[in-house]
Amino acid sequence: MAKISDGIYFIQGQDEFIPDSHVYVIGEPSSDDLSIVDVGLTGKGNYKIQSILEMGIKLTSIKRIIMTHTHLDHIGCLSEVKKHIPQAELWVHTLEAAPLEQGDERAVYGMKEFQSMCQMQYGIKPGAFALKVEKKLEGGENLDIGGMVWEVIHIPGHSMGGIALYNRAGKILIPGDVIYADYAIGRFDLFGADANELKKSLMRLARLEVDILLPGHNQIVRELPSDYIKKTAEMWGPHLQ
């Protein structure tokens, strides 16, 4: 686990044949009010918890898990992580929280073939992602947590309830799987995806001032060029209708 800046820690995903999402721990450690953003793939819970402990962060100071979205590579190890931090609430955008609470796992797996493959590979039982969500996010919230303010921005397209977290003071953006380094964007062919919505979400993010981009996979980017998101949106625009 690496420190990105004050109050932001990064745990690199450990990809297998299925990717494992990065984890970000946000909040000033002295606040005793930390949040985890995404947890990662099934089987990666101990690795993530171990990485947090190695940074000297107390597990009792972690108060919530905020999901950028609920694909398996982001939420798969939730139950493993929750064993170590049972006090942590689960915060999810309402459009993906409702299916979780109803036991509808289509958004977790994204496609039927993938569901049966993963259930076999990892021994995941049907209904494993029927979860209680303590806080349903709408987008537009200013979360004052851990001594920092994070704006919640609803950015559907890769998934229906995808959110970005944006720290205006530090110009830091956590966009989940909507935009990555190297002008890459998230796929838009899974259940709940929508190319046109993704285009609008990218244009929305393009209006933000961002210095540090902390995506769900691949490299993180410091000193992001000011027109990076706009360029990415324009480059992909013709493919997103």
Walk across the sheet containing 2-5 and list its strands: 2-5, 8-11, 23-26, 34-37, 62-66, 89-93, 135-137
Q: Is 93 in the site for Zn ion (CB under 5 A)?
A: no
Query: What one-character DSSP code corresponds to residue 137?
Result: E
Q: Is 71 in the site for Zn ion (CB under 5 A)?
A: yes
List the one residue out of 186, 88, 181, 171 whose CA is nearest residue 135: 88
CB atoms within 10 A of CB 63: 18
Stretch that binds Zn ion, among 59-67, 87-95, 116-124, 215-223 (CB under 5 A): 215-223
Q: Is 96 in the site for Zn ion (CB under 5 A)?
A: no
Nearer to Zn ion by C-beta: 73 or 197? Answer: 73
Find all residues with CB under 8 Å of 235, minimum gap 6, and list them. 183
Single out the residue of 20, 73, 96, 105 in contact with Zn ion (rule: CB under 5 A).
73
Stretch that binds Zn ion, among 26-34, 112-120, 174-182, 194-202 (CB under 5 A): 174-182
Single out the residue of 76, 155, 216, 221 in contact with Zn ion (rule: CB under 5 A).
216
Nearer to Zn ion by C-beta: 80 or 177? Answer: 177
CA distance 136 to 134: 7
Nearer to Zn ion by C-beta: 161 or 216? Answer: 216
Q: Is 29 in the site for Zn ion (CB under 5 A)?
A: no
Stretch that binds Zn ion, among 15-23, 57-65, 136-144, 204-212 (CB under 5 A): 15-23
Residue type at position 187: R
Q: Is 230 exposed, middle or buried (0-12, 13-18, 19+ CB in 10 A)?
A: middle
CA 124 from centroid of its chain's CA atoms: 21
Of 117-156, binders to Zn ion (CB under 5 A) are none
Q: Is 177 in the site for Zn ion (CB under 5 A)?
A: yes
- By the criterion CB under 5 A, which residues form the site for Zn ion? 21, 71, 73, 177, 216
